[in-house]
Amino acid sequence: MTNFLPLIEKFHSLQGEGFHTGKSAFFIRLAGCNVGCSWCDTKHSWNQKNYPLIPIEKIVNEIKKARKKGASFLVITGGEPLHHNLDNLCQIINKETSRGGMDPIKIHIETSGVNKISGNYDWITLSPKRHSPPQHLFFREL
C-alpha cells in the first residue's frame, strides 16, 4: 500500500486542454517518469528522488480545501503518475470527499498508459507514445 507520494506541485487552475477545457480543477503533479520522451516539457519530473514524499492524507486535505474553493474535479498528472500505485490515494479521496452525503470529487488522470491502472477514475486522458506503447489491458479500461 502506498502511503506517501513524491509531489512536485499542486495548484488550482482552469483545465487548459481537452474536453474539460475551461473548468475549475485542482492539479497534483507526481514525480517520476522513465518513459523518456525526447520532446518532454517536464523533464524536471523524471527523477522522483528530487521531490519530497508527502503523506497521502496531507495531499487529500489540499484536495478538500480546493473543492471548497470551487474545484469541480481533481487532475492527477506527472511525470507518469501510474508509475505509482494509486489505489490508496483514490480510496482515501473517495472516502474523505464524500463525507456528509456529498458525491466524491471526480478524479481525472493524465497518463501514457505504460503501467497497469491502479486507482479508480472518472476520466482518463491517455497520451500514448510510439516508443513506449500503452499496455493492451489499458484499452479495455477506456
**What is the binding site for ligand SF4 (CB under 6 A)?**
33, 35-37, 40, 42, 45, 78-80, 112
Instruction: Check if the beta carbon of residue 122 is closer than 8 Å to that of residue 142.
Output: no
Shortest approach of ligand SF4 to residue 103 CB, angstroms? 30
Shortest approach of ligand SF4 to residue 117 CB, angstroms? 15
* Closer of 6 and 78 to ligand SF4 (Cβ): 78
Q: Half-sphere exposure of 65 toward its Cβ, with a 13 Å CA cutoff? A: 10
9's CB contacts (< 8 A; 6+ apart) are: 27, 28, 29
- State residue 134 phi and psi, 5-degree precision: -65, 155
Shortest approach of ligand SF4 to residue 5 CB, angstroms? 16
* Closer of 60 and 114 to ligand SF4 (Cβ): 114
* Closer of 49 and 68 to ligand SF4 (Cβ): 49
Please, what is the angle between helix 56-68 and helix 87-96, to 10°?
40
Shortest approach of ligand SF4 to residue 80 CB, angstroms? 5
